[in-house]
Amino acid sequence: MEDPEYGVDSRYKSNEERESDGKSLMDARLNRIKMEKKKVKDEIYSNSYFDHDGGFPYGDLPKNLLPTDRIEFQFVEGYYSENDSWDAHYELYVYREREETDEEYEKRELVHQNGVKQMKEQRYKRYLKLKLEFEGGDKE
């Protein structure tokens, strides 16, 4: 039953060798993930227009606009219910991209490292349960 036909890749002589190679590959992938600073999209201006026909006054835009700022203008349909309602209106948003700060980067990296640590702990718990099951634990 150690043939490739039964699930063991033909490159390996046994399941243990295949699993060892798989663990090495996963560790290499996790270590290779290089955290880099990301671009963060900040909203620098927003406004809602209830009495307009799909346009907005140019003077409403912030005076400090940059050529790289992104302007989004969208229509929001009206919604009416017993508890919450709003009329149809337009919304104007101005976004600016910036590089994340060192504090934001460190916080994101810490969250990532905690996730990697939790995944490793979960795999180890699963390993212990399987080991107990297959090496003389519960015998039915």
pLDDT of residue 42: 94
pLDDT band at 10 (very low <50, low <70, confident <90, very high): low
Residue 5 confidence class, pLDDT cut points 50, 70, 90: very low
> What pLDDT is stored for residue 32 in this prediction?
64
Residues 77, 88 contacting (CB under 8 angstroms) = yes
Sheet containing strand 70-76, edge to edge, reads 39-49, 89-99, 70-76
Residues forming beta bridges with residue 98, ordered by sequence position = 40
- Binning pLDDT at 50, 70 and 90, where does residue 12 land? low
Q: pLDDT digits over 59-113, tens only?
A: 889 999 999 999 998 988 988 988 888 888 889 999 999 999 999 989 988 888 8
Stretch 107-128: mean pLDDT: 88
What's the distance, CA 128 to chain centroid? 30
Where would I find the beta strands (DSSP E) of the chain? Answer: 39-49, 70-76, 89-99
